[in-house]
Structure 1
Amino acid sequence: MKKLYTLLLLIIFWIPVLAQDAVVESIVQEANENSQLERLAHEMLDVIGPRLVGTPEMKQAHDWAVAQYGKWGISAENEQWGTWRGWQRGITHIDMVSPRRASLTGTMLAWSPSTGKKGVTGEVVIIPDLPDSAAYANWLPNVKGKFVMISMNQPTGRPDYNWEEFATEESFTKMKEERESAEANWRSRTDKMGYDRRSLPKALEKAGAAGILMSNWSRGFGVNKIFGAYTEKIPTLDLELEDYGMLYRMVEYGDKPSIHVLAESEDLGEMPTFNTIATIPGSEKPNEYIILSAHFDSWDGGTGATDNGTGTLVMMEAMRILKKVYPNPKRTIIAGHWGSEEQGLNGSRSYVEDHPEIVENLQALFNQDNGTGRVVNISGQGYLHAYEYLGRWLSAVPRDITRHIETNFPGVPGGGGSDYASFVAAGAPAFSLSSLSWSYWNYTWHTNRDTYDKIVFDDVRNNAILTAILAYMASEDPERTSREKSVLPVNPRTGEQREWPSARKATRRGGFPDED
């Protein structure tokens, strides 16, 4: 009888363990054998394209996501949280027409005004080096009808790693010194004007310039950062380094280059903005929540593939897998696809403000938003006992995934950077699944090269498996996660005790020139 009793205890103990193993195995199998990542990436990135807040493409993406979730039997909706300046990009052609003819490569910045269908032709000039703001005020009328270059001319289009590989040490040192000197001289030149990066384009526009030319080089071959325009009537264009440098040299040598710009866009007025929220209801604890988090919007220099198309794909694929192999979670699982993260975490901050009951009962949030790479770091975000529950959950993840991951406990709370910070500021257990770089900061973060071909699908697939298993384990955990905060360390830069980040209000109406 004693042996039988022992056997029964073993059976009772092992049944849930075996059941858990079966779910984990099913998650891995579904992800590897029936992945939808490539199809979803094509539809979102190639067909819909970039997802700039306030654009029709952003709304199209929201509607597409709701439809996808519906096909998987998952309830989803677009939840409006505010309004934004509506704008749609049109066709852009930039051509040098003198001293020779050549098509140039560049991008009209987001929210840039249109040239109209006939385009604009004008001479190209650079900002001269003058002694003071009075001299610049006297010079300003000279920009009338001309395109003004407002970025420094880079001495090299080769990234530093290329110099390190091939240059002599003396040559590399010389180049860096020349670049530093050029940067200092350019800062001095613009400082003497009395304008900053926002006010300078507006001053040139007021003086009658035909357009603004810049080149926000990202320290990589053929790659520039693409952000938004500050002009209201004339176009602002970012030229790739090679063409920008050529025009700059022509101006310096007195060749008087002229360009013709056709840059069409449409101002759409005030447009509604949304978060897409998908939900798998909990069966035992429906009022406790796990959130799979990724911002849906992007800048529109490329198609937003790694910022944050890949994070979006991870969360959508994890939800699809969970619905198929774990359709009745104990806790409610939500996917939050946030809008306007790029302008200040506005979608997630709005959600935190609008849904305090979910924030209060959040078991865990997992956010992914720094590129296509496999997850390599998870921080406890300052929660004293995060190592206990995250450790339990990670133990269920296959070793070939967790062997790449370093953990940092208790860590320090993130004050910004991505949407998990909106929840951390509210005291909720939210965690960033931080990825391997894959040259993210130079080559794809907010650049013209953030496109489908940069996705590493093996890494994204691993991240979907990781996320699905973490969500499953968080749902099954019999314990609520602790929110006890650690004593934060001293900031070595200030020598002062770090403080927990405070919640910031979302911008509910944005993008309009009078509000910049």
Structure 2
Amino acid sequence: MFKRLLTLTGSLIAAMALGAVQAKPLPQEDLSVAEVLRDRALESSDAYSIVESLTVEVGPRRAGTEGDRRAVAWAQQKMKALGFDRVYTEQVEVPRWVRGHAHAEVIAPYPQPLVVTSLGFGVATPEDGLSAEIVEFADVEALLKAPPEQVKGKIAFINKRMEKARTGEGYGPAVQGRSRGMRAAATKGAAALLLRSVGTDSDRFAHTGMMAIDNIENPVPALALSAPDANLLEAMLKRGGPVVVRLDVDNERLADGPSFNVIGEITGRERPEEAMVIGAHLDSWDEGTGALDDGAGVAIVLETARLIAELPVRPRRTLRVILFGAEEIGLVGAKQYVDAHRHELDNIIAISESDFGAGKIWRFDTRLPENKFDIADQMMQLLAPLGIERGNNASSGGPDSSVFVARGVPAFGLYQDGTDYFDYHHTPNDTLDKVDPENLRQNVAAWVVISFLAAEMEGDLGRIPTKTD
């Protein structure tokens, strides 16, 4: 099979040398090479060994921690071993925080413990803890509308359930409680916030995650409850009478410090200054080992680059892999990258990102000018045999990629089946055993198609409209 790849690539270069002009946006020679890359990924890709290495040799890697520093060193070594032409880092400044203990228990009327975890950058309780009555709200909007006297001195309990979906579309409505709930509780004078975990499981694991923390005068402790414990509080409240909970939390905010975007490049043979960018985020939360979020994505994009690096000749453009730092705490690495390279964004032909676990890819979305849809249609010819269907033209490419898209960079979106993703998201249960090697091969097969074709294509994908246009 690889001999066939050599032959096809040689034919491609020969055709270009003769000045061959193809009528279609993507020449058949390009599509043929991409097809061979796709099939090779299905047969022999070993992305699983990369995520296994990351989770075993590094483990949790919350931004600004020792685990984060180990991950940065790991990523540089791995890129060099995989055949990247250039490997480098760019420092970013990140907020830092130390997670301490978090305990919660019902002390009246039915004393029993609760399983909780601190939300990211949450503050501590007083040294002796705090006890207060629970007041329940259906969602953060209900809390925001509540009169202050209903909340003051109590523990606000946001009891919003997340709906399960292959697209993960239930996350957006549910995560509002996590991102905005502590601010709302503090504004109303609450003693603390308890949040039904933003997840779709029924396990007794609590889901952590980042909150909005800027410009809050009097932040209050904020904890996520496991789903069974949220059910427990709900049942107690239905029996009437006050439910009193005691919290004991110890966290600490530190001064800002360094983290890094880790960048590897397969240098383009003709237009090295232009790049197809693919990415994932290197950091993770500290509860599990970050296998799904986003170790799998790291493995997928690194393995994609490795396969392309093994071609007899480099693609026309550079393939740039960015492992973003500090995504979990607010897309920090992506924002600082775009700011630092704002005058070079026109040299990025497109961007895409793997950050939705390790399920099979089932949909291909884009964010392209309408006159470039035929290129996506040609890519679909090679993606369809993988069980992938055509989606919409509203893709952000992924969380970090959205920062680039906001500046007009076109995007491709390859979306995994996320039905079970939020069962594990941000919990101690985000571990390697949740990753299926066969699914990873299908992911890499799809990624290598779009990555090679975008890096190799003769034309470009233009720019997309932005809010400032």
Offset, 1:26: 5.7
Alignment match, 1:33? 44
1:78 and 2:122 are equivalent in the alignment: no
1:330 and 2:316 are equivalent in the alignment: yes
| Structure-2 separation of matches of 1:245 and 1:354 | 46
| Structure-2 separation of matches of 1:14 and 1:160 | 48
Counterparts of residues 290-305 of structure 1 (less than 5 Å): 290-300=276-286, 302-305=288-291
3-state SS in 1 of match to 2:370: coil
Contact 2:122 2:251 in 1 (8 A): yes
Q: Percent identity?
A: 23
Alignment match, 1:284? 270
Alignment match, 1:468? 448
| Structure-2 separation of matches of 1:503 and 1:46 | 45
| Structure-2 separation of matches of 1:38 and 1:12 | 33
Alignment match, 1:437? 418
Amino acid at match of 1:328: R
Asked which structure has the greater CA Rg, the reply is: 1
Contact 1:78 1:277 in 2 (8 A): yes
Aligned counterpart in structure 2 of residue 227 of structure 1, from 187, 192, 209: 209
Quickly say closer, same or farther: Cα 1:43–1:93, change in 2 above 3 A. Answer: farther
1:405 and 2:415 are equivalent in the alignment: no
| Structure-2 separation of matches of 1:237 and 1:109 | 5
Contact 1:420 1:431 in 2 (8 A): no
Q: Give TM-score scaled by structure 2 length.
A: 0.73
| Structure-1 separation of matches of 2:380 and 2:243 | 63
Alignment match, 2:407? 426
3-state SS in 1 of match to 2:251: strand
Offset, 1:357: 5.5
Offset, 1:109: 1.4
1:317 and 2:303 are equivalent in the alignment: yes
Quickly say closer, same or farther: Cα 1:127–1:18, change in 2 above 3 A. Answer: closer
Alignment match, 2:22? none
Alignment match, 1:61? 71
For structure 1, the 5+ residue unaligned runs are: 1-10, 162-182, 188-194, 486-499, 505-516
3-state SS in 2 of match to 1:483: coil
Quickly say closer, same or farther: Cα 1:29–1:228, change in 2 above 3 A. Answer: closer
3-state SS in 2 of match to 1:481: coil
Alignment match, 2:186? 201
| Structure-1 separation of matches of 2:275 and 2:281 | 19
| Structure-2 separation of matches of 1:245 and 1:475 | 50
Offset, 1:309: 3.0
Counterparts of residues 254-293 of structure 1 (less than 5 Å): 259=246, 261=248, 263-293=249-279
Quickly say closer, same or farther: Cα 1:41–1:390, change in 2 above 3 A. Answer: same
| Structure-2 separation of matches of 1:26 and 1:197 | 48
Offset, 1:198: 0.8
> For structure 1, which segment, 250-259 or 346-355, has the greater mean C-alpha deviation from structure 2 after superposition?
250-259
Alignment match, 1:514? none
Aligned counterpart in structure 1 of residue 135 of structure 2, from 123, 127, 137: 127
Alignment match, 1:42? 52
Aligned counterpart in structure 2 of residue 480 of structure 1, from 459, 462, 467: 459
| Structure-2 separation of matches of 1:57 and 1:359 | 31
3-state SS in 1 of match to 2:73: helix
Alignment match, 1:513? none
| Structure-2 separation of matches of 1:108 and 1:49 | 20
Quickly say closer, same or farther: Cα 1:197–1:503, change in 2 above 3 A. Answer: farther
| Structure-2 separation of matches of 1:351 and 1:296 | 14
- How large is the RMSD of aligned CA atoms in angstroms? 4.3
Query: Aligned pair count?
Result: 422
Offset, 1:470: 2.5
Q: Give TM-score scaled by structure 1 length.
A: 0.67
Alignment match, 1:104? 114
Offset, 1:69: 1.0
3-state SS in 2 of match to 1:198: helix
3-state SS in 2 of match to 1:150: strand
Alignment match, 1:215? 196
Deviations along 1:241-295, one digit per CA (max 9) or x if unpaired, are 323443565576668766463x443433111243221112122221221111223
Offset, 1:128: 8.5
| Structure-2 separation of matches of 1:322 and 1:348 | 24
| Structure-2 separation of matches of 1:433 and 1:159 | 22
| Structure-1 separation of matches of 2:12 and 2:305 | 29
| Structure-1 separation of matches of 2:451 and 2:65 | 32
Contact 1:294 1:337 in 2 (8 A): yes
3-state SS in 2 of match to 1:279: strand
For structure 2, the 5+ residue unaligned runs are: 1-9, 16-27, 138-144, 166-173
| Structure-1 separation of matches of 2:346 and 2:163 | 47
Contact 2:409 2:463 in 1 (8 A): no
Contact 1:159 1:220 in 2 (8 A): no
1:457 and 2:437 are equivalent in the alignment: yes
| Structure-2 separation of matches of 1:160 and 1:310 | 21
Amino acid at match of 1:309: G
Deviations along 1:419-468, one digit per CA (max 9) or x if unpaired, are 3333333333322222223344x534556654433333322221112212
Offset, 1:362: 2.4
3-state SS in 2 of match to 1:314: helix
Amino acid at match of 1:501: T
| Structure-1 separation of matches of 2:273 and 2:11 | 28
Contact 1:53 1:339 in 2 (8 A): yes
> For structure 1, which segment, 105-114 or 368-377, has the greater mean C-alpha deviation from structure 2 after superposition?
368-377
Alignment match, 2:466? 501
| Structure-1 separation of matches of 2:70 and 2:300 | 19
